[in-house]
Amino acid sequence: MAKYQNPVVRGCYPDPSVCRRGEWFYLVNSSFEFFPGVPISRSKNLVEWEHIGYCIDREEQLQLSPTLRQSASGIFAPSIRCKDDTFYMVVTNVTEEEKDNGNFYVWTKDPAGAWSDPIFLGTEGIDPSFFFDDDGNDYYIGTSNHQIYICTLDLKEQKITGKRTVIWEGTGGSYPEGPHIYKKSGWYYLLISEGGTERSHMITMARSKQIEGPYEACPYNPVLTNRSLLRPIESVGHADLVEDLNGNWWAVCLGTRTFSYPPKHNLGRETMLVPVNWENDWPVFGNHGSLDQEIETDCLPAKYTYCEKKQDYYCDFTSEKLDQSWNCLYTPQHSFYKTGDGTLQLFGDEHSLCDMAGYAWLGVRQCEHNTKASVELEFKPMAQEEAGLTIFMNHKHHYEAALVLQDGTTKLILRRQIGSLYRIEQEIAVPNDKVTLELESDLDNYTFYYRLEDGKRKLLGKGETVYLTTEVGGSFTGNYIALYAMGNGKNCSSPAKFSNFTYKEI
Ligand code: 6LW
């Protein structure tokens, strides 16, 4: 019996959607205000996923800009489907949701290559998905006003046709959302989430002989939930089903790895894999409707050998294009960085880290609780300017080590911001504008260290992990380890030069 461990995609990769072409499975996830948007991965065994690109990676494709939403704006809940060898990814940019202009799709023949420009659909609400029926009809399913609705879709004309029909309101849980439709043995199955994306999250199902209903609820609802269970993975929900070439069914869903009491999480909502069996024409998810962290199965669609997966990432900044691990905030409005000569140069503008803005910031996801990151920084700060290494939940919740100018001297500071509380915890004079910054994370603390010319590692200070969790200061996203430069009111006079970035999971 083979075993695998959940999550199968670690870090902030929520709202998974999956489809299959031949022996390859393709997975997309939400990306919120981060750019490039909608990461896409592929796998043959459903456990090991290779990140192959982003559906939204050209600046002219989509403008993700700051909004009045406190955080977690932008791209919510993509869905991916394949028809006649063309892939379609439909998604909401919630920033435009109120104008009913948030839902759009992009398509491609090559999921690892370029995706089309967005085709806006003018539909209401969030969490769109497509269903391609075997009779040739295509449908759009969406969520609006706590109801699931369907309408016909004309892919040739690239628009919604026909009227909008409400097909289900769920079983009475809050936030019925994330709908997907499947056809099996003459039934249309409608899979949704209820209970909200927090600890009451659950997956429910209904079925009908006609696509527009009436839908009858599954007698065993919720078909998947970890609510009220003492499990290492909580908040299980927002699922999508896929059948493999052997006729076995699987679901991907989101879940959180929590710690502390009451449970909290800092890595965002991650992607889980759930085996699904069918009994009496209803699906049985996971362990009698709940999700275990470790799963034994003989059915994975391709060979997998269990191994503990830990990232050991090094970026030497010698390539002219940053690799796909890096994200910035919002669609960049101007070029704020330069790389390729062994450094990453960040050109800080007038923004401050506590602004909600697309500033000189580049980060990688924190994907495990226990990690170590380090980077070398050379920066000559002028008045107001700063550059450094931050552990960043959002613009109001972050801890950072940064070089600043104080009383005519370059100093290394440790600062923490937790909501409106803001404190500089440490200040150390730095003789030659050069420092190595190190950050270690565990379930208790984020701990910063530094090295000056003599190479000796010294403690800068630490901050509690608990205050950089979704439950304290976040919403839909997880923490990023990021490099940044800020002019705090003016453009920085010189770039901050970062080199030799490492991120290692322990
Ligand atoms: C998404 C909704 C959800 O639109 O969270 O967990 C929202 N489910 O379906 C954002 O990720």
> Rounded mean pLDDT of the chain?
96
Give the confidence band of 100 by pLDDT, cuts at 50, 70, 90.
confident
For residue 430, pLDDT beyond 90: yes
- pLDDT value at residue 487: 98
98 by DSSP, 3-state: which? Answer: helix
Residue-wise pLDDT for 399-409, tens only, equals 999 999 999 99
- What phi-psi label fits residue 467: left (phi over 0), alpha (psi between -120 and 50 degrees) or beta? alpha
What is the structure's pLDDT at 66? Answer: 86
**Is the omega angle on the peptide bond into residue 222 within 30 degrees of 0, that is, cis?**
yes
306-323 per-position pLDDT tens digit: 998 899 999 999 999 999
Which H or E element spans position 472? helix 470-473
Candidates 238, 253, 272, 470: which one to mutate for ligand 1, based on the most atoms within 8 Å of Cβ? Answer: 238
Residue 504 Cα to ligand 1 midpoint, Å, equals: 29
Residues ≥6 apart with Cβ < 8 Å to 424: 413, 414, 415
Cα–Cα separations (whole angstroms), residue 50 to 26, 283, 324? 10, 28, 11
What pTM does this model have? 0.97
Reported as a single tens digit per residue, the pLDDT across 249-268 is 999 999 999 999 999 999 99
3-state secondary structure of 466: helix
130-158 in b/e burial notation, b at 16+ Cβ within 10 A?
A: bbbeeeeebbbbbbbeebbbbbbbebeee
**Residue ranges around ligand 1 (CB below 6 Å):** 14-15, 30, 76-77, 126-127, 177-178, 193, 197, 237-238, 254, 476
Say which residues have a Cβ less than 8 Å from residue 455's Cβ, sequence separation at least 6.
none
100, with CB counted inside 10 A (0-12, 13-18, 19+), is: middle
Kindly tell me the number of DSSP H helices and DSSP E strands found in the chain: 1, 39
Q: Is the pLDDT of residue 362 over 90?
A: yes
Q: Which atom, in ligand 1's list, is nearest to the CA of 127?
A: 4
Given this model, what pLDDT does residue 132 score? 98
Class of residue 177 by CB neighbours under 10 A (exposed 0-12, middle 13-18, buried 19+) = buried
